[in-house]
Amino acid sequence: MAYGMVTPERCELSPPRDVEVCPGGPILVVAVPVRNKICRYYRDAAIRQQLGFNRAEQLVHLQTDMNPFHFLKLPVVNMELDWAR
């Protein structure tokens, strides 16, 4: 599993684009790999999770992100096709 730590100082000065909340303490950013081959192909190879801690190192924020479903837009016939939904 790939992981990284965002310090409170870095989050306050310039938060990474995926971080929604700076909880006051460190943020642990983890990428959990997806084993299902169909999901890896159509959606995402990893699920991104963020664990935000406050100054007392208590878990106060949990965020899980995965890429949205893909759509194929056909403007000629004014339709949208779901891509592997």
pLDDT tens, 24-79?
Answer: 999 999 988 888 887 777 677 888 899 999 999 999 999 988 766 666 777 888 87
Query: Domain range spanning residue 55?
Result: 2-83
Residue 17: what pLDDT? 82
Q: What share of the chain is helix, strand, coil (3-state, %, to 5)?
A: 15, 45, 40
Q: In total, how many domains does the chain have?
A: 1
pTM of the entire predicted model = 0.68
Taking CA 68 as the corner, what is the angle to CA 64 and CA 69, rounded to the nearest 5 degrees? 140
Q: What is the dihedral of CA 29, 34, 39, 44, to 10 degrees?
A: 30
Q: Of the candidates 24, 14, 76, 83, which has an alpha carbon nearest to the alpha carbon of residue 52?
A: 24
